[in-house]
Structure 1
């Protein structure tokens, strides 16, 4: 009887879970994006002070409930040494958010190379990828804003 009731409860109230990877170079704003998302979508989540966010070593996990879906965000560290671990998470993910620091013109080619490695993976065939040009609100520094609006792609 317990198994029947437990199964019925799960069927009625359990949310579908989707895993979303947040990738990009270090200091692109991946963890800040995650914290802002958790603050916006989780009513009782106060969030951490944005000034206390440091470089991610390993990963941060955040959960956001949207309607009948539960999104589990995996914010992976973007240092060059950690990028080799990204592909270990591809098989489990349902989507990818690739974050670019639009103020860092010097590392744009490095970010492009990392992005190309991500999209060339066969494990991500059919997986939706969102490219997020972050830090567009920084006055006078948003180099990528003009580039993306004119071309809608990388050169």
Structure 2
């Protein structure tokens, strides 16, 4: 029987979460609009593992509702727009506040630096430092570059998420 694992996909508005999920599930670029509520899809990684990925709207008004999606969450995938460094401080605050939730204790974190195909995107190291990732010594975490539009790094990232879950 296949293990179905709950994964939460979140981040600030316009980070590219819905585009990323659609690209992952359909292999196509899908025109998206800001998510009100959530999108959900199941990603079959292999014969034994499926990830149910919940893409939750990132607008400020939606963020208080994020906690309602945490039950049975086995990994958190936090998406940032690597072409918009001005929003990294806000992303850092949101991530830190969210990871302090009791339900996320010990839950592995995957940070996806999306929009790496854009010429002005900041480096993984810079994003890691801006988000203060090295301070999360109490959980497994990884950061990877990707491009939802080009489909680069998505499959690999979710295979890594699966490995992080198995390690935790």
- For the aligned pair, the TM-score class normalised by the smaller chain equals 0.7 to 0.9
Count of residue pairs the alignment pairs up: 130
User: Normalising by structure 2, what TM-score?
Assistant: 0.72
Match for residue 63 of structure 1 among 26, 38, 42: 42
Of residues 114-123 and 54-63 in structure 1, the stretch that sits farther from structure 2 once superposed is 114-123
Q: Which residue of 1 aligns with 2:113?
A: 133
Of residues 18-27 and 114-123 in structure 1, the stretch that sits farther from structure 2 once superposed is 114-123
CA distance in 2, matches of 1:19, 1:114: 21
User: Normalising by structure 1, what TM-score?
Assistant: 0.77
Structure 1 unaligned blocks of 5 or more: 1-13, 41-46
Within 5 Å, which residues of 2 pair with 1:47-86? Answer: 47=28, 49-50=29-30, 52-67=31-46, 68-86=48-66
Q: Secondary structure at the match of 2:86?
A: helix
Q: Which residue of 1 aligns with 2:75?
A: 95
Q: Secondary structure at the match of 1:27?
A: coil
Structure 2 unaligned blocks of 5 or more: 133-168
Structure ID, larger Rg: 1
Per the TM alignment, residue 36 of structure 1 is displaced from its structure 2 partner at its CA by 1.7
More helix by share: 1
Per the TM alignment, residue 92 of structure 1 is displaced from its structure 2 partner at its CA by 2.2
RMSD over aligned Cα atoms: 1.6
